[in-house]
Structure 1
Amino acid sequence: MVTTHNPPDSLDRPEAKTRGGDGRTLRERRRRATSGEGRLGALLVSPTLLVLAVVVLYPTIVALKDSFYGTPGLDPQTGFVRDHDPFVGADNYTAIFGAAGDRFWNAFWNTTFLTVTTVTLETVLGIAMALIMHRALRGRAVVRASILVPWAIPTAVTGLLWRWIFNSDGVANALIGRQILWTTEGFHAKVAVIVADVWKTAPFIGLLVLAGLQVISKEVYEAARMDGAGALRQFWSITLPLVKPALLVAVLFRTLDALRMFDLPYILIGAQKTSVETLSMLAQDQAANVRFGPAAAYAVILFVYVFLIALAFVRLLGADVVPRRHKEVAA
């Protein structure tokens, strides 16, 4: 006679496998723990969110509101000077893309050209600087310090320094043996701004890429060398893919910073120079002439431009610096 043994009914029920001593399922306990972590996280980031709301969100809302108001002047109905900014609706934006369209588009393309050119050159030179700083050579500390010094110099000082270099009787003309007026109108003014900006901010990308290089295990390169991979092959197949997250973050930060470029061309070349006038310089010029409504409109347009570039960068290139929480898959 064959004896059969039936397991308890509780083992046939899948939910019993996940129940603890307190009667809650594993999913319930995990959800409970996650909610506690979420409340703690919200509590920890609340001071930062408060600061961002004060220094970022509030000025953005005020700028958006001011962009719908005009400049105080004579009231055509009464003939008296207005004591407040008149509400003009979207007239400031209409004027930017209409009557003032030539100046706006010139500043827009200057901003885009300077951003693309400087960030591209800074990325290439930054990677080269990171590789040099990462090498185990004698005097590496001195080499790292000398590479990072330009980035530590304030932008205003950098602008004055390169203004002296690009002076008519400065070092630049002495080296090339020609008399070029770098700080006047023309394409050479763009070249001067690009050279100065690359000299200053390429070490920033180099520093972030260096941080990515230092976390790569040496065993990976040793295995590649044993497989016959040369230096160039190691760079393209190992170094570049592994430092991609740090490199993308560096390029993203530099792109956003270059889009709002103001102080370097303003000090190096000067104000109201159409060759290097950026959107930030255009907004500052309007504000300096007490035209706060148009200045706010330019600032809002620049904000939207920067936001769209950042969004496209994150979506298309995969530079997602915020880790995504993986969704639980129901059994």
Structure 2
Amino acid sequence: MATAVETAGADAPAPRSGRRPKKNVLSDGQGGLAGLLISPTMLVILLVVGIPILLSVRESLFRRNDGIDPVTGMIAQGESFVGLQNFTDIFANPQAVPAAWGSVDRLINAFLNTTFFTVVCVVLETAIGVAMAIVMNKAFKGRGLVRASILVPWAIPTMVSAKMWGLMFDADGIVNKLAGHQTLWLADNNASQWAIVIADVWKTAPFIGLLTLAGLQTIPDEVYEAARVDGASAWQQFLRITLPMVKPALVVAVLFRTLDTMRMFDLPWGMIGPGKYYVETLSMFAYFENDAGRYGQAAAYSIVLFLYIVLVAFLFVKLLGAEVVDDPETRAIQDRRRAQRKLAKQQRLSSRAGSTVTTGSASS
């Protein structure tokens, strides 16, 4: 009986130390080294991004004094703390403007324009970029020249691109001559919105195309050969092989383009001009307030845009985060450790069951 008990005690699992397991399966105790390596980058982000955001938050809580101070009778100067009044005034004092969405508040109009440009431009850029990547991934003569040439629109500065497209969309420009119809693309109307979309898609579709091409080149040719042997059509190969395997790179490209389009400023400013409500974005609206000397209100509009971008990025990563941060190696390590934990649990249960049976037999 003593032997059975000692055997059961030897087979019993060791008591837990109380420490929680590491959440990062790839850390392996190298968190200190990782922190040291990324510290320069985090310092740059803090200086370039973090501090300006904190200053903008501080500025949004103050308002510039103007007029006559009722206490002293002197001209008020400096600024005073107003708390959240700059934010409440955004919705308490609507300014209706004529735009594509009817006579709506100027802030709502800028919000709708920003959302419209983001959705339409990113969808078109994704479709065209994927098509460009598939074409460039084929083996043909002059493929290197084609790959280099699509970088030209992306390399041109946005303001230069805006002026170039402004000349083409002019009333006497080449676009109207080719279309054979006189359209006021640069006026404040619906056509100006689509002029911005065309110019933005032309400039940034190559960005998605290049990132997608990088993902396509990681797909082995043997996969397509096996699919063709099994009788899969070109469309089936695209849906079942190309799209799933290129999805991680494509998701990153679409995320970058979404966040970049949401802060669009220079293209509509340089191409259509200021004061055009059909193309006015949140970034332009915040700039107008700042240019008018209303720094607190401008900071409030900037914070609203920042929160909007953060919300979209959070939802994007929340819904597709596994495709952004995951990879086959990480999944393999996770599966292996999950299997090891499952096996260890089964061994503990078997050990406990065997100890119970041994103890019962010895007692009998």
Instruction: Say whether the fold is shared (TM-score over 0.5).
Output: yes
Amino acid at match of 1:139: G
SS at match of 1:181: coil
Contact 2:59 2:296 in 1 (8 A): yes
Question: Which residue does 1:303 correspond to in 2?
Answer: 306
Amino acid at match of 1:68: L
SS at match of 1:225: helix
Amino acid at match of 1:215: T
Question: Which residue does 1:97 correspond to in 2?
Answer: 91
Which string of whole-angstrom CA distances, capped at 9 and with x for unpartnered residues, describes residues 7-51 of structure 1?
x969954779xxxxxxxxxx99xx9x9564100001111111111
Amino acid at match of 1:287: N
Greater RCO between the two (CA within 8 Å, min separation 6)? 2
Question: Which residue does 1:274 correspond to in 2?
Answer: 277
For structure 1, the 5+ residue unaligned runs are 1-5, 17-26
Which string of whole-angstrom CA distances, capped at 9 and with x for unpartnered residues, describes residues 167-226 of structure 1?
111111111111211111000010110000000000000000000000000000000000
**CA–CA separation in structure 2 for the residues paired with 1:50 and 1:39:** 16
- Residue 84 of structure 1 is aligned with which of 60, 78, 81? 78
What are the equivalent positions in structure 2 for 1:14-93 lying under 5 Å apart?
A: 34=27, 36-74=29-67, 75-93=69-87
Question: Which residue does 2:162 correspond to in 1?
Answer: 159
Which string of whole-angstrom CA distances, capped at 9 and with x for unpartnered residues, describes residues 149-177 of structure 1?
11111111100110111111111111111
Question: Which residue does 2:138 correspond to in 1?
Answer: 135
Cα RMSD for the two superposed structures = 2.6
Contact 2:247 2:323 in 1 (8 A): no
**CA–CA separation in structure 2 for the residues paired with 1:306 and 1:228:** 45
User: How many residue pairs were aligned?
Assistant: 313
For structure 2, the 5+ residue unaligned runs are 15-19, 96-104, 345-364
**Cα offset, 1:265, TM superposition:** 0.4
TM-score (norm 2): 0.80
Contact 1:249 1:319 in 2 (8 A): no
2:105 matched to 1:112?
no
2:196 matched to 1:182?
no
Contact 1:129 1:147 in 2 (8 A): no
Question: Which residue does 1:22 correspond to in 2?
Answer: none
Which string of whole-angstrom CA distances, capped at 9 and with x for unpartnered residues, describes residues 101-152 of structure 1?
6110000000000100000000000001101111101110111122221111
Larger Rg belongs to: 2
**CA–CA separation in structure 2 for the residues paired with 1:270 and 1:326:** 53
Contact 2:129 2:207 in 1 (8 A): yes
SS at match of 2:64: coil
2:207 matched to 1:213?
no
Contact 1:69 1:293 in 2 (8 A): yes
Question: Which residue does 2:261 correspond to in 1?
Answer: 258
Question: Which residue does 2:238 correspond to in 1?
Answer: 235
Moved over 6 A (4+): 8-11
